Amino acid sequence: MRKLVVVAFLAIFFAGATSSRLLASTPPRSPSPGSLAVEKSISIAVSYTGKDTFADGTLLTCPQTAIHPNVMVPGDVDPAQLYSIVMIDRRASRSMFTLADQFTYVHYWIANIPGSKVDAGTILEEYMRPAPHDFMQHKYEFILYKQQGQINTPLADRFVKDWEAVASAYNLGSPVASLNHCVLFETREKRFNYC
């Protein structure tokens, strides 16, 4: 029994180390199930440092994402159009003991952004930093939507079963840009890759 536990631990440890090396050399993946196609003329740029933005699919640590991100919308943006930027994790769970309750968790939502003026938007959901607590892969997506009108009502619960249904209920329309990062969860003993 003890050998089985040691073998399982080593498999998890080396799988995490190997996948972090692979992530660095792997081109960005196609959209995950549930992700939607986006327009290419508009983009999102995100920085946790205030200086450097990260590339799509970048591997970050929990401490690196602990501070509030600076989100920018460069590109051909209609200044008269209202936009929303949402940060979500599609593999969230309410419990650290079961995987049966998979949700999308809304980590951040800025609505009513006039054109590219993100600072002039309304924060519907304050930033909650990534905190993966299981051994599953977590990808944190920033998605830019065109709004159909003003949005003033925050979510009743940040855990949602069907994000696309919520986006539709808020009349967000199709995404116009997206960007994602993965998080490297660190303990004092070992580092585990969660993407």
- Span 52-79, average pLDDT: 90
- As given in the structure block, the two tokens for residue 119 are 């600072």
User: What is the overall mean pLDDT for the chain?
Assistant: 78
pLDDT at residue 9 tops 50: no
Q: How many CA atoms lie within 13 A of 3 on its CB side?
A: 0
Return contacts of 159-167, CB within 8 angstroms, 24+ apart: 159/92, 159/94, 159/103, 159/104, 159/105, 160/103, 160/104, 160/105, 160/106, 161/103, 161/104, 162/104, 163/34, 163/88, 163/90, 163/104, 163/106, 164/34, 164/36, 167/86
Predicted confidence (pLDDT) per residue in 19-28, tens digit: 333 333 333 3
Instruction: Kindly list the structural domains of the chain, giving each domain's residue range(s) and its CATH number in brackets, ordered by start.
Output: 2-193 (3.90.280.10)
146 touches 88 (CB < 8 A): no
Confidence of residue 182 (pLDDT cuts 50, 70, 90): confident
Q: Write down the pTM of the prediction.
A: 0.74
Q: Are 104 and 122 in contact (CB under 8 A)?
A: no
| Mean pLDDT, residues 169-185 taken together | 89
Over residues 113-154, the pLDDT tens digits come to 999 999 999 999 999 998 876 666 688 999 999 999 999 999
% of the chain surpassing 70 pLDDT = 68
Please report, as a single letter, which amino acid is at residue 38: V
